[in-house]
Amino acid sequence: MTPAEELQNVPPVKLAVEGVSKTFRTRRAAVHALDNVTLDVREGEFVCLVGPSGCGKTTLLNIIAGLEVPDAGRVLADGKPITGAGSDRLVLFQEPALFPWLDVMGNVLFGLKLKPNLKPKERKEVAEFYLKLVGLEKFTHANIHELSGGMKQRTALARALAPNPRVLLMDEPFASLDALTREQLYGDLQVIWEKRKKTIVFVTHNTREAVCLGNRVVLFSPHPGRVQEQFDIGLPRPRDINSVDLAKHATEITRALKRHLKPDLQEVAE
């Protein structure tokens, strides 16, 4: 911690990634997904991890979620090492991963039922609150296969929010949605983040999306996955993805991204 930070009233570190490395070995090759990544995420921060595909950002997210184990290094949540998945860190995956044998309500209730100290009636109220928040109050008893892509991802968002996790881990959750739905969800997510005081780690390869959502954008480079640069985004909220200011920031980051990619491309050319 620098002296300047020491003098500020900074919120405590929620997630501490300490020297995490991970290599995936297939029969043919070893993929060095993460190389000695160190990163702090503070309580209430909205951090976006940006990088081209193959830079290990999803792997890092899975490690934070406790779904994968790093080869070296460790991740601390509230100062305690992460030993497995836990409902304090909920994940919103790229695909909605909704359960087809349950209806919309059943899906949102799934996580809630795993929380002790809640009566069935209270659970239902909480689920209804979040379904309303994502605009699905009229579809509580719809089957999953009847929903559009956007509605599925909204259901998944409600399911992830319902157990009220302190940390939300999002892995390109809006990538497969149409632009309009996505823009609406950018707004919703910013409101939810502010209102519910969540710590969010958001993975994306879209720099505009990252600038629109994050307080901080962390740039990753691939092969092996490393943190290259970090950008603090001080734009006022709520942010509109179409604003010119936002585009300027995004362009700057895109340029940096290309700069970090270049040496990699040269290596390949050689």
Binding residues (CB under 8 A) for another protein: these are 65-67, 84-87, 89-91, 93, 95, 97, 99-103, 110-111, 114-115, 143-146, 159, 163
CB 99 to another protein: min, Å: 6
Residue among 89 and 260 whose Cβ is closer to another protein: 89
Residue among 82 and 217 whose Cβ is closer to another protein: 82
Residue among 95 and 188 whose Cβ is closer to another protein: 95
CB 98 to another protein: min, Å: 8
Residue among 110 and 129 whose Cβ is closer to another protein: 110
CB 84 to another protein: min, Å: 8
Question: How far, in Å, are 30, 77, 202, 257 from residue 55 at the CA level?
Answer: 14, 23, 14, 12
Strand partners, 169: 91, 201
CB 252 to another protein: min, Å: 34
Residue among 143 and 251 whose Cβ is closer to another protein: 143
